[in-house]
Amino acid sequence: MRCDTWVFFRTIGFNCILSAFIMSSFISCIADGPGVSPNVPTPDSGYTLGPEDVLLVSVWKDEHLTREVVVRPDGLISFPLVGDVPAEGRTVEELRLDLAKRLIKYIPAVNLTVAVIKPLSYKVYVVGRVAKPGEFLVGHYTDVLQALSLAGGLTPFAAENDIKVVRRVMGQQQTFPFRYGDVRKGIDLEQNIMLQRGDVVMVP
């Protein structure tokens, strides 16, 4: 009888602890918002389109207007009924709204979606004294250290504190210094900037 009583109270205690844990987890989920964990990054909705990106444009209930399109080197896409539409530098949502505005003349209450199925425009270049210089197609945002890693790292004769990032903005060339030796020691880590599409990392 004494043993049964001990088992009974032990079971009650375990159930109380389990209930408290479930309740605290539930409250934490409410505080963080549905399906959001503070340690899990959310997808970046600000991706801007560039040449060679492959998109899928789907028009609801119209299979003839559902197709893959490629962003051309001039930054435009071609689409039936509306012709050429600017895509480069826009987000997917901005392009979707523009397409819908143009198509509504022909399809009242048009319902369409735009999705990036092959992000092929985000390329960076690493040249100079690295193990594997060249063009790198990356499927995620990349900083200078990551780009150097993709290129196999510096060669023994590289001037590690004279590296430069070359960027072209509105036809104008900009340069950003990168002192690899300092960053490796944890100094001036802000030099490790996020690279933009088309950036060139030069290692003398």
Q: Specify the CATH number for the domain of residue 109.
A: 3.30.1950.10
* Domain termination site, one of 97, 118, 139: 118
The domain tally of the chain equals 3
Q: In terms of domains, do 4 and 58 share one?
A: no
Residue 43 pLDDT more than 50? no
User: Which pLDDT value is given to residue 138?
Assistant: 87
Q: In terms of domains, do 86 and 141 share one?
A: no
Q: What is the mean pLDDT of residues 147-157?
A: 96
Q: In terms of domains, do 28 and 8 share one?
A: yes
Q: In terms of domains, do 136 and 188 share one?
A: yes
Radius of gyration (Cα) for the chain, nearest Å? Answer: 26
Q: What percent of the chain has pLDDT over 70?
A: 78
Q: What is the mean pLDDT of residues 98-122?
A: 93
- Within a domain: residue 5? yes
Distance CA 194, CA 173 (A): 17
- Within a domain: residue 17? yes
CA angle 88-149-201, nearest 5°? 50
Question: What would the pLDDT profile of 14-33 be if each residue is shown by its tens digit?
Answer: 344 334 433 333 333 333 33
Which residues constitute the domain of residue 101? 54-118
Residues 50, 197: contact at Cβ < 8 Å? yes
- Within a domain: residue 47? no
Distance CA 54, CA 139 (A): 13
Q: What is the mean pLDDT of residues 100-129?
A: 94
* Domain termination site, one of 88, 118, 148: 118
Q: In terms of domains, do 109 and 142 share one?
A: no
Q: In terms of domains, do 155 and 179 share one?
A: yes
> With bands split at pLDDT 50, 70 and 90, how would you rate the model's confidence at 45?
low
- Within a domain: residue 154? yes
Which is more confident, 141 or 117? 117
Q: In terms of domains, do 144 and 185 share one?
A: yes
